[in-house]
Amino acid sequence: MNTNINYKKAILQAGIEMQKRDLTVETWGNISLRDPETGLIYLTPSGMAYDTLREDDVCVLDAAGNAVEGTRKPSVEKMLHVLVYLKRSDVFAVLHTHPVNSTVFGVLHQGIPVVTDEMAQAIGGSVKCADYALPGSQALAENVVKALGNVQACLMANHGAVCVGRDIKECFKVATVLETSADIYQKALAIGRPVEINEENTVWMRDFAVNHYGQK
C-alpha cells in the first residue's frame, strides 16, 4: 500500500471541503480515491453526514467493487466509481457533486460547451449530459462513463455532476471551473448567443495546462 497517503483521512477532508464549497447538500454526493499501487478504491459510505465521518466509516473496495475493508454500506453510486476507474487509467479521484448552476443544465438534459479558457484548460472539452437512469443503477454508471469520455467532467440528467482527476485537488479544481462556467453560460444565454472555443484551441490549452503551465 502507498504509505505516503492516508486515503481514509483524505476522503474525510474532501467531504468537508465539498460542503464548504457548496458543491452538495446534506448527505448527497460521494467521493472516491484509488491507490495506484494496490488498485484499492476508498469510497464514502451511504447516507452519512460528511462532518460526522470517521476513518473507520470509509469503505475500501477492490477494483471490481467488492468490499475488502470496513463495515459500512458503500455509496449507492459505487459502480459509477468502479466503472470510471475501469475505463480511465489516468483517473485516481472521482468527485460526484450536486452543484446548483451545473445541475440547471442537467435538468435541461443539456451539455455545456467550452465557453471559457479555464474550462478548456481544466476540463479539456465540452461537458456532456449523461442520459437519465435511476440513482445507483448499473445503467447510470454506464451512462456517466459514456458521457465523460476522455474529459474531466460530465453532467448527470436531473441529478448532479461527476468530476475526475489525477488527485482530489484536481477534482475540486474541475468542479469549481465547471460550476463557474455553468453560471457564466447561463448569463450569456440570457443576453445573446455564446461563442464556443473551437476544438483546436481547446486541445492546445488543455495540453498547455497539463504539460507546460506553472512551475516545474
Angle at 11 between CA 10 and CA 12, to 5 degrees: 90
**Burial code of 88-121, b = ≥16 C-beta within 10 A, e = fewer?**
beebbbbbbbbbebbbbbbeeeeebbbbbebbbb
Amino acid identity for residue 213 in this structure = Y
Kindly list the distances between the CA atom of residue 64 and the CA atoms of 10, 13, 85, in Å, as whole numbers in the listed order: 22, 25, 10
As given in the structure block, the three cell numbers for residue 64 are: 471490481
Picking from 178, 147, 141, 124, the residue whose alpha carbon sits closest to that of residue 30 is 141
Catalytic residue at 77? yes
Chain-centre distance of CA 28, in angstroms? 13
Region of residue 100 (phi > 0: left; psi between -120 and 50: alpha; otherwise: beta): alpha
Catalytic residue among 77, 118, 170, 179: 77
Catalytic residue annotation? 77
